[in-house]
Structure 1
Amino acid sequence: MRLGVTMFATDQAMPITDLARAAEQRGFTSLYVPEHTHIPVSRRTPHPSAEVLPEEYKRTHDPLVALAYAAAVTERLTVGTGIMLLAQRDPIVTAKAVATLDHLSGGRVALGIGYGWNVEEMEDHGVPYRERREVVREHVLAMRALWSREVAGFDGRHVTFEPSWSWPKPVRVPPVYIGGGAGPKTFAAVAEYADGWLPIGGRGVKDALPDLRAACERAGRDPEEVAVIPFGTVPTAGKLDYYAGLGIEEVVCSLPSAPADVILPLLDDYATLL
């Protein structure tokens, strides 16, 4: 079982460089950070799981800038987004940034992406909430074209650009994992254009696996090629044994957005499970 960690990287939390070093030194394989470009103060959209918006949502670092720092001070650690709000990003610029980070890190980038929950945040980016899933799909397809082809263009409803050069190429096309709850829309998207599923919190995975496998088979994909990585879970030995029994090979553990004196003891506790 491989273990990674995820934390809201902010100006008040443990510095990302220190966290990356500490995680790699203890044998963790990955570090994921989430994204919010901004939080409109109107707060029209309630947080999906908290009555009061946690402070870290207002202070989140840009994930790719933060991960560049993490990659620069480590040698083996996979650096990933979890979750990148891809509908809110320009796909050409994001493809360039991700490819550059992967190129400079030696092929260590993973992209956990999601559709987002904050309606007003999306509106400020010009993204209609009801269209966010289709926007994300086209962004992924367009980015993959730029990463993998010497000359790439795209002609979609939400993304259009003429045949173009875009270098550097990533060392490998970064894996794309879709984060979210189980459901037919999520699983259809995973089966069509992603490399895996990040069940947030890790609940209900066993019951969901047959539906995910069926979606992959309908799309003509081998379900064994699609990773399932419980994301943002609090690990225990029993929980990890349970996941291993389901054939899961990696779990990403939750860390609070907090200073080093809080984070380091948690890392030490989690490391005993490796």
Structure 2
Amino acid sequence: MRLGVTMFTTDQAMPVSDLARAAEERGFTSLYVPEHTHIPVSRRTPPAAGQDVLPEEYKRTLDPLVALAYAAAVTERLTVGTGILLAAQRDPIVTAKAVATLDHLSGGRFVLGVGFGWNVEEMEDHGVSYGSRRDVVREHVLAMKELWSREVAGFEGRHVSFEPSWSWPKPVGGPPVLIGGAAGPKMFAHVAEYADGWMPIGGKGVKDALPALREAYDKAGRDPATVRVVPFGTVPSKGKLDYYAELGIEEVVCSVPSASAATVLPVLDGYSALL
């Protein structure tokens, strides 16, 4: 079992470069960070996790690709990833270039975790309606994959269109694409069509969902044994990790608080005892 960590990287939390070093030194294999471009003050959309008040870190989140570049630069083995990147809210050509550059410079250590988003007013400020966000994410990821994999790449879709173009560097490792969110037919159809795996937030209900995910992979003509499942943002225990291992899950990403090193390092030490 491999353990990764995720933290809301902000201007007030433990510096991401220090967190990356500390995670690698303790034997963690990955570091994932989330994204919010901004939080409109109207707060029309209630917090996704059900809190009465949106936590402060949502307002202060660093750009994930810039933060992960710092993390990759000070480590040698640590996988760095987005957990998750709001793909509908990003220009796919610019994002494809940034992702490919980060993967290239890190030696293929990047994983692209993407999500559909929950904050209605945030995505509307990017010109994306809540109802269209899944379709926009799909096209943005498909367009980026074309730019990463082809010497000359073009794309013609409803939400993305660009003429045949050159775009280098190419990523070293793909990169793998994981989709975060709750289980369901729509989610698994997206994973099976254009991703490499699923990031269930918190990990609840994974066992019951696995048959449907594998069936979706099979229907898409892909080998169900190849799908990656990475429970995300969980609080680990030996029993929980043993349970995941029995399901064939090989990596779990553990949540650490968005706080100073004095708070974060003891949490990392506790988690590392489970390795």
Work out whether the TM-score is over 0.5. Answer: yes
The residue aligned with 1:231 is 232
Amino acid at match of 1:160: S
Amino acid at match of 2:32: Y
Tell me, in whole angstroms, the C-alpha distance in 1 between the residues paired with 2:207 and 2:173. Answer: 31
Amino acid at match of 2:9: A
The residue aligned with 2:9 is 9
Once the 2 structures are TM-superposed, how far is the Cα of residue 201 of structure 1 from its aligned partner?
Answer: 0.4
Tell me, in whole angstroms, the C-alpha distance in 1 between the residues paired with 2:202 and 2:10. Answer: 21
The residue aligned with 1:198 is 199
Tell me, in whole angstroms, the C-alpha distance in 2 between the residues paired with 1:56 and 1:23. Answer: 20
Question: Taking every aligned residue pair, what percent have the same amino acid on both sides?
Answer: 81
Q: For structure 2, list consecutive stretches of 5 or more residues without a partner in the other structure.
A: none
Q: Detail structure 1 runs of 4+ shifted over 6 Å in the superposition.
A: none
Amino acid at match of 1:133: R
Give aligned pairs, total.
274
Tell me, in whole angstroms, the C-alpha distance in 1 between the residues paired with 2:91 and 2:113. Answer: 16
Once the 2 structures are TM-superposed, how far is the Cα of residue 48 of structure 1 from its aligned partner?
Answer: 1.8
Residues 40-64 of structure 1, C-alpha deviation per residue, up to 9 Å, x if partnerless? 0000000122110000000000000
- SS of the equivalent of 2:83 reads strand
Tell me, in whole angstroms, the C-alpha distance in 1 between the residues paired with 2:257 and 2:186. Answer: 30
Q: Is residue 2:105 matched to residue 1:121?
A: no
Tell me, in whole angstroms, the C-alpha distance in 1 between the residues paired with 2:225 and 2:14. Answer: 37
Once the 2 structures are TM-superposed, how far is the Cα of residue 172 of structure 1 from its aligned partner?
Answer: 2.1
The residue aligned with 2:28 is 28
Amino acid at match of 1:35: E
Alignment of 1:1-274 (within 5 A): 1-49=1-49, 50-274=51-275
Tell me, in whole angstroms, the C-alpha distance in 1 between the residues paired with 2:136 and 2:229. Answer: 23
- SS of the equivalent of 1:232 reads strand
Q: For structure 1, list consecutive stretches of 5 or more residues without a partner in the other structure.
A: none
TM-score, normalization by structure 1: 0.99
Residues 24-46 of structure 1, C-alpha deviation per residue, up to 9 Å, x if partnerless? 00110000000000000000000
TM-score, normalization by structure 2: 0.99
Residues 50-86 of structure 1, C-alpha deviation per residue, up to 9 Å, x if partnerless? 1100000000000000000000000000000001000
Residues 80-134 of structure 1, C-alpha deviation per residue, up to 9 Å, x if partnerless? 0001000000000000000000000000000110000000000000001100000
Tell me, in whole angstroms, the C-alpha distance in 2 between the residues paired with 1:116 and 1:151. Answer: 31
- SS of the equivalent of 1:208 reads helix
Once the 2 structures are TM-superposed, how far is the Cα of residue 151 of structure 1 from its aligned partner?
Answer: 0.4
Once the 2 structures are TM-superposed, how far is the Cα of residue 198 of structure 1 from its aligned partner?
Answer: 0.2
Tell me, in whole angstroms, the C-alpha distance in 2 between the residues paired with 1:254 and 1:202. Answer: 12
Tell me, in whole angstroms, the C-alpha distance in 1 between the residues paired with 2:185 and 2:116. Answer: 15
Tell me, in whole angstroms, the C-alpha distance in 2 between the residues paired with 1:86 and 1:51. Answer: 27
Tell me, in whole angstroms, the C-alpha distance in 2 between the residues paired with 1:172 and 1:239. Answer: 30
Tell me, in whole angstroms, the C-alpha distance in 2 between the residues paired with 1:221 and 1:113. Answer: 20
